[in-house]
Amino acid sequence: MDAQHILESPAIEKVERFRIRGMHCANCADTIEKAVAPIPGVIDAHVNFAAETLTARVTDELAAGTIEAKVAAAGYSAVAETGIVGAGESALDRLDARRNLEWVIASAIGAAVVMYLQDGESLAARIATLVVASALMFTAGLTFYRGAWMAARNRTANMDTLVALGISAAYLYSILTTFPEVFFAGPRFFDTAIELILFIRFGKLLEARARGRAMAALRSLLTLVPDVATMVRDGKEFVVPVSELAVGDIVLVRPASRIPVDGVIVTGASAIDESMLTGESMPLDKAAGAEVSGGTLNTAAAITVRATHVGSETVLAQIVRMVADAQGDKAPIQRVADA
């Protein structure tokens, strides 16, 4: 093959998936898409806000680490996914959920204290209200200022921008009326600012829980695939993690065990329960040469299966991926509005 032909050969397309951290609303997803789409080598990019993932169709011309760098420059973080979309809940997910709950509790306690103190007209009561409100503004409310700053840096606005403007207006006006001798007399709205932080924090907690429940259905599907498999090589049996299986490997599937890969039966005959894929309640009789799918149940006799698709290429994994993508897909009218 000459050099001219090599230069003219088409680029190879592939799909890259990333876990996104730091999104606060659907507008954040749109910001990331706009940051990634112009990158040379990126054909198209889609962010699933519900699953917190970025799916990009790219060519082999894309430089390694470019997408991560662009997402980081936009104020978020992207980590390449090597497994199946929705494969599991990470320790970071659980930590985020716990932190959300802790901030809601702290905001509720702070709001109650501010509401109690704000009724006092003495200088000590006014200053105490200011101190407590300030502590909550720049702890529980700090996330909104960070989000608003990132949006401003990207020359856009999001929900955090609105929240930051609202709580800042109430807070700054209340500071002035806290010292009527210096500025002017008037009502104080520290409670308004803190209650707004509490309500939005509570909303974020509910949103995170709803997102977790939506992905739990996908994770329950993936539990149908066993974690380990019995591989047969040179007449010997080896128990290996399913993630280490490759196309062409031979696996032994005993009765009452689930098939770990998509493949073709090499030896043996059995009845395979495929209800998780087809809804058919009766097992199907299959013999050598028949195709089987990962996650289905071998009900009768031992069989050996040659793997044709493993990991993220199995039918079950593709179903999970399509459901996850559908959760974050936009209606045509929404695409028009976003444009």
pLDDT at residue number 151: 83
Last residue of a domain, one of 80, 104, 124: 80
Residues 70 and 136 in one domain: no
pLDDT at residue number 50: 72
Residues 237 and 299 in one domain: yes
Q: Which of 326, 329, 82 is nearest to 217 (CA)?
A: 326
Tens digit of each residue's pLDDT (9 = 90 or more) over 178-203: 988 888 888 889 999 999 999 998 98
Residues 187 and 65 in one domain: no
339: in domain? no
Its domain, for residue 269, covers 228-321
pLDDT at residue number 131: 92
Residues 113 and 212 in one domain: yes
pLDDT at residue number 62: 78
Please give the Cα distance from 51 to 59 (Å, whole number).
24
Residues 74 and 120 in one domain: no
Residues 107 and 71 in one domain: no
Q: Which of 89, 329, 90 is nearest to 218 (CA)?
A: 89
333: in domain? no
- Percent of the chain as helix, strand, coil, to the nearest 5: 50, 20, 30
Residues 167 and 111 in one domain: yes
Instruction: Sort 241 into a burial class: Cβ within 10 Å, 0-12 / 13-18 / 19+.
Output: exposed
Has this prediction a pTM greater than 0.75? Answer: no
330: in domain? no
Task: Supply 30's token pair.
Answer: 């749109």
Residues 97 and 32 in one domain: no
Q: What is the mean pLDDT of residues 277-287?
A: 87
Please give the Cα distance from 51 to 211 (Å, whole number).
7
| Contacts made by residues 318-323, CB under 8 angstroms, sequence distance 24+ | 319/221, 319/277, 320/84, 320/85, 320/86, 320/218, 320/221, 320/222, 321/84, 321/85, 321/86, 323/217, 323/218
pLDDT value at 84 more than 60? no
235: in domain? yes
Tell me the CATH number at 8. Answer: 3.30.70.100
Please give the Cα distance from 107 to 195 (Å, whole number).
8
Q: Are 214 and 207 in contact (CB under 8 A)?
A: no
42: in domain? yes
Residues 316 and 203 in one domain: no
Tens digit of each residue's pLDDT (9 = 90 or more) over 97-154: 788 889 999 999 999 999 888 888 888 888 999 999 999 999 999 989 988 888 888 7
Residues 60 and 40 in one domain: yes
Q: Which of 148, 141, 157 is nearest to 192 (CA)?
A: 141
Tell me the CATH number at 250. Answer: 2.70.150.10
Residues 67 and 101 in one domain: no
When divided into structural domains, the chain yields a total of 3
Q: Please report which residue ranges of the chain form alpha helices under DSSP H.
A: 3-8, 26-36, 66-73, 91-117, 123-137, 142-153, 159-178, 190-222, 275-278, 315-327, 332-338
Residues 40 and 15 in one domain: yes
Last residue of a domain, one of 80, 100, 131: 80
Please give the Cα distance from 127 to 132 (Å, whole number).
9
329: in domain? no
Q: What is the mean pLDDT of residues 204-226?
A: 75
